[in-house]
Each structure stands twice: as C-alpha cells, then as structure tokens.
Amino acid sequence: MDERTVAITTLGCKVNQYESAALAHSFRERGYRVVGFEDRADIYVINTCTVTHLGDRKSRQLVRRAARANPEALIVVTGCYAQVAPEEVKKIQGVDLVVGTKGRTGLVELVEAAAKREEPHCAVSEFGTGEVFEETAALPLDGRTRAFLKIQEGCTNFCAYCIVPYARGPLRSRLPENVAGAVREIVAAGYKEIVLTGIQTGAYGRDLRPKHSLAALLGDLAKIPGLQRIRLSSLEPNDITPELVEVLAGLDSFCRHLHIPLQSGDDGILRKMGRRYSTWEYSSLVEVLREHLPGLGLTTDLIAGFPGESEVNFENTLRFIEKISFSGLHVFKFSPRRGTPAAGFGEQVQGRTKEQRSRKLIEAGEKLAARFAASLLGQELDVLVEQSAKGEGSLYEGLTGNYVRVTFPAEEELRGEIVRVKILEQEGTALKGIMI
C-alpha cells in the first residue's frame, strides 16, 4: 500500500500553530507522511481562524487552492471558523469534513471515516458543561528552536467584539503534573526555551479541583533541571495577580517580556468594548511590573476603529501608548463578527478611517519598538539563536529574553543555543552585536 500524504496549513494565533503541530504528529503516528501545503497531497487540513473576516476569507481561499492542487484529495476544515460557522464551512465547494475546536484528538479516525462518505460530514458539536482539556503530545513546532506548550483552553471574558469565547468554549486547564511531564520531555529533546500558551493563559488552573494558578505552576516548572528559559504568551490585565508578579520577579528563567492586550487607550471605548479595567488601572499595573521586572519588554494589542471611536478617542489612544512606551504593538482593524454585541453597535467607523488609524498606530508602534531597542545599546544580553541571518553562514540571529531580534557574527553552528551578546548597533527595531 502506498504511503498516504497529508498537508496542514494554519491561520491565526500561536495556539493554532501548536495544535497544527500536534495534528501533524497524530498523522505521522498513524503512518501518514506530512508534506508542504503547496505540494500535492491525499489529505489537506486547514486549521482556521475567525478573529476577523479576513481569516474567514483566507480559509475559503485555502480550500479552493487545495482542491485545485488535487481534485481527488480529501479536504478537512478545522479550528475556530469551523466551530462557529460549521454549516457555512460545510457548503464551501470541495470540503469533505468539518471539525471544530474540540474532539480533534480523534481527527485521523474522522478523516478515515470521511473518506468512505459520499457527502461532506460535519463533526462539530457545541460546548457543554463538564468540558475537559484535550491532551495532545508534548512537542515543539516543527523547525523551531523554541518549544510551544499549550496549557489552557477557553475564555470567560466575552468582550463585546470577540468571537473567541464562542469558538473556544469554557476554561479548561492541563493538569499540573501533565504540564510538568510535557516540559521534561521537551527539555530532554534539547530545547532551551518553552513558551507556555493558551487562549486565556492567565486563568490557568481556575477550573481545576483543587484550584491551581499560573503562579504556582511556574514555581513548580522552574525546578525542572535543564529548563533555561520560560516565556509566557498573552496575559489579560485582570489575570495578572500580585502572586504572579512576585513569582515572575523571582524566576531567573523567566524571559522578561509580556504581551498584555490593551485594545484602546480611551476609557469610554474600553467600557464599550467590555474590557474590565481603566487606563489608570492598566498604567498602574505596568508600573508595578516594571518595578519588579527591570528591562521588561512590553507588547500589546490595539483595535483601530471600534464602533463609536471618535478622533478624540483615537488621539487619547495615541497619547496613552506613548505614555506607556510599549516595546511593540499588534494592530487590528475592527472587524464585526456575527454573534458578538459589537457587530450590532451603531456608529460603525468607515473602512477608510479604520485604515488611516491602523497605519498611524503601526507607525507609532515602529517608533516605540526602535526606542526600546535603542535602550539596550551597550548591554550584554542572552540570545536564543534561531537561524543564520539572511542565508549568511557567518551571521546568526535570535531573540533576547525581552523579545528583541539580534544579529551577530559567529563561525560555529549555534542554532538552538543560548549565547551572550554585547549589543553595539541598532538597525531600526533590531540590534547588532558581538558574541562574548
């Protein structure tokens, strides 16, 4: 029997990327060969995102691309778009199987069953009470020097603009002993840095009995021999407790970078968004973090053109991000998502205005990132080496703990190693130095 091939592509966040890697691992264990999505394959899996309407559109485009690459292939659509709009996805020409964001540990079996059906099959089910965290293999993303580990699923915030709680369901946490076991496996495989990720990572452990916390988990993981760097994915402001700050400040292995979504720097817009903090509370949190974590890199998310956002509201946001002095911004234009309150709000901002505000925020973010990079000149920093720079064998690049990219010359093979680099020059938002 010829070896069957599967191609997997991913849209959206780091959680999606982790889940796609886990799906690839499941297929390999069952004897499938994983190929690139641009290659001809027997099975195509599209792991979708639905945070914006662009994600939905890209998902449909990828289905059509797969159907053109091999008209005989079986096409699977999974992920957030599939979870919130399964019937819509099922109607896309070429789709054979629709699977949401749960029940994917049995995806290979679903694929093999779908191959025998004449009509498209939808295996999406709604979330109910008693949902549990679906365990997947502990493995890094393919080809990465950092290993990602999903420790949490689901969100309880229900912000006015966000479809994610509907796509991901209630809070579910990986058991602490299972997280520790997965981390030991990753460390044993030679990885120096692990990124703990989830949908609402800061809420880790609240659903467990007895309750646990991200702070307690980090304290336990720090004791694992060989784990040199721990990095956290996005944390909601309201989930950052004094206990967590104290633990982070005491961990030598913690990478001093946090991503804390702001979304708007205007209190009125924050209230309309359903965000449960004010700009004063956000800035007070940042003060505490910087006091306890010197050199902290701080990045954030911002939404341009939320319904009702006036020029005054937008200018307030520009002034606030300048005051906070972030080290980087992720900017999104508001996209109404069916089923969320904000989709029905009045005073929708025109597309041209959203585009203009988005560009201004991106430009401001680049200046802030360059300013933060400049603050590191002359310092000696640990860098996790990721790859050769621009294909040049004698130049390497990697990330500092506070998430700035550094390039430096070296003769030996260093990919995956942590090296000490003295920072000498700045080039935009990146840095150059020499290895010590």
> Coil, strand or helix: which one is 140?
coil
Relative to beta strand 380-389, strand 392-400 is antiparallel
- pLDDT, residue 1, reads 46
Angle ∠(322,325,328) on CA atoms, nearest 5: 105
At the second CATH level, the architecture of 132-255 is 2-Layer Sandwich (3.30)
Residue found under tokens 């901002």? 349
Domain 259-375 belongs to what topology? Answer: Transcription Regulator spoIIAA (3.30.750)
Work out the burial of residue 116: count CB atoms within 10 Å of its CB; fewer than 13 is exposed, 13-18 middle, 19 or more buried.
Answer: exposed
Q: What are the residues facing 384 on neighbouring strands?
A: 399, 418
Multiple choice CATH, 380-435, 1.10.10, 2.40.50, 1.10.3470, 2.160.10:
2.40.50
Task: Give me the torsion for CA of 396, 147, 49, 263, rounded to 10°.
Answer: -80
User: What residue ranges do the domains of the chain occupy?
Assistant: 5-122, 132-255, 259-375, 380-435
Domain 5-122 superfamily per CATH: Methylthiotransferase, N-terminal domain (3.40.50.12160)
Q: Which of 92, 86, 90, 87 is nearest to 61 (CA)?
A: 92
Residue found under tokens 């467990």? 208
DSSP state for residue 2 in the 8-state scheme: P
What is the enclosing helix (H) or strand (E) of 89?
A: helix 86-90
Which two three-digit tokens encode residue 249?
Answer: 């400040």
> Coil, strand or helix: which one is 73?
coil
C-alpha dist (Å) from residue 182 to 171, 187, 255: 20, 9, 19
pLDDT tens across the length of the chain (436 residues) = 478 999 999 999 999 999 999 999 999 999 999 999 999 999 999 999 999 988 899 999 999 999 999 999 999 999 999 999 999 999 999 999 999 999 999 999 999 999 888 888 999 999 988 899 998 877 665 567 889 999 999 999 999 999 999 999 999 999 999 999 999 999 999 999 999 999 999 999 999 999 999 999 999 999 999 999 999 999 999 999 999 999 999 999 999 999 999 999 999 999 999 999 999 999 999 999 999 999 999 999 999 999 999 999 999 999 999 999 999 999 999 999 999 999 999 999 999 999 999 999 999 999 999 999 999 999 999 999 987 776 555 899 999 999 999 999 988 888 899 999 999 999 999 999 999 9
Domains 5-122 and 132-255 share a fold: no
Please tell me the distance from the alpha carbon of residue 174 to that of residue 189, in angstroms, as a whole number: 21
Residue-by-residue DSSP string for 154-222: ------TT--HHHHH-S-EE--HHHHHHHHHHHHHTT-SEEEEE-SSGGGTTTTSSS---HHHHHHHHT
- pLDDT, residue 390, reads 63
